[in-house]
Amino acid sequence: MEKPGKIKILLVEDEAITALAMVGALQAMGYNTCQPVATGEKALQSLSQEAPDVVLMDISLTGDMNGIETARIMMQSGFHAIIFVTGFSCGELYESAKALDPVAIFTKPVNPQSLKSAIDGAMTSARPGNG
């Protein structure tokens, strides 16, 4: 049974080792985590089934959809608490991600304290009346 008020995070990451490490870090920070997924299709499924508060989205994913396309669909359905995580700090994909106006974009490896600030910030801005 999860504690009320605990932030629930969906991690969309196609590198298993990275996903494992990030889930461990998120749980150590006190967040609930959904089962991590590796594709955009599974992320969209999880969004409706798990109802996370925040999505951490890798830009490059296996499957037919990258993280940017997946995030765009999520945003079109009204979900905006998306934080991108990428191995690239510039280039076309990075610019496309930035154009979606996500909560934040982090380059791997991610600083846990910065990530925590972004997640908490996403929850503040996602509350009714804040945007």
Percent of the chain with pLDDT over 90: 73
Q: Alpha-carbon distance 94 to 8, whole Å?
A: 25
pLDDT of residue 5: 66
**What does pTM read for this prediction?**
0.90
Q: Alpha-carbon distance 38 to 23, whole Å?
A: 13
Residue-wise pLDDT for 62-112, tens only, equals 889 999 999 999 999 999 999 999 887 778 888 899 999 999 999 988 888
Q: Alpha-carbon distance 99 to 95, whole Å?
A: 6
Q: Alpha-carbon distance 79 to 52, whole Å?
A: 10
The residue type at 83: I
pLDDT of residue 22: 93
In which band, very low, low, confident or very high, does the pLDDT at 61 lie, cut at 50, 70 and 90? very high
Using alpha carbons, list the distances in angstroms from residue 45 to 10, 19, 41.
11, 18, 6
Mean pLDDT score of the chain:
89
Domain 8-125 CATH class label: alpha beta
